[in-house]
């Protein structure tokens, strides 16, 4: 399974969230299988999003698309996000 982690800082998470939510159909049609959103304990505008993708190739194509850059700019993402592309190696016990 392919995973992508985006670490971003936004100007205002309340402004960012509806724009992020509006793009869910675009993510799904590009191969996203959903994910989880995390907020920093000390800064609610620092976010980590862990997505599951159908393939790393789809994840790269979406993450590098001009459309995503435009959405991120519109939503108030500060700077360039840190993006990690991960291939699941194995499950681990607790």
pTM, two decimal places: 0.90
Please name the residue ranges forming H helices in 1-94: 13-22, 24-29, 56-63, 66-75
pLDDT digits (tens, 9 = 90+) for 4-63: 999 999 999 999 999 999 999 999 999 999 999 999 999 999 999 999 999 999 999 999
Predicted local confidence at residue 1, as pLDDT = 85
Answer for the pair 2, 31: CB distance below 8 angstroms, yes or no.
no
* All domains of the chain in start order, with CATH: 2-87 (3.30.70.100)
């Amino acid at each position: 399974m392919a995973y992508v982690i985006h670490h971003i800082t936004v100007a205002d998470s309340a402004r960012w969230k509806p724009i992020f939510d509006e793009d869910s159909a675009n993510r799904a049609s590009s191969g996203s299988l959903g994910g989880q959103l995390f907020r920093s304990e000390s800064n609610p505008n620092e976010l980590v999003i862990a997505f599951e993708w159908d393939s790393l190739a789809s994840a790269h194509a979406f993450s590098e698309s001009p459309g995503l850059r435009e959405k991120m700019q519109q939503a108030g993402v500060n700077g360039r996000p840190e993006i990690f592309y991960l291939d699941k190696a194995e499950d681990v016990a607790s």
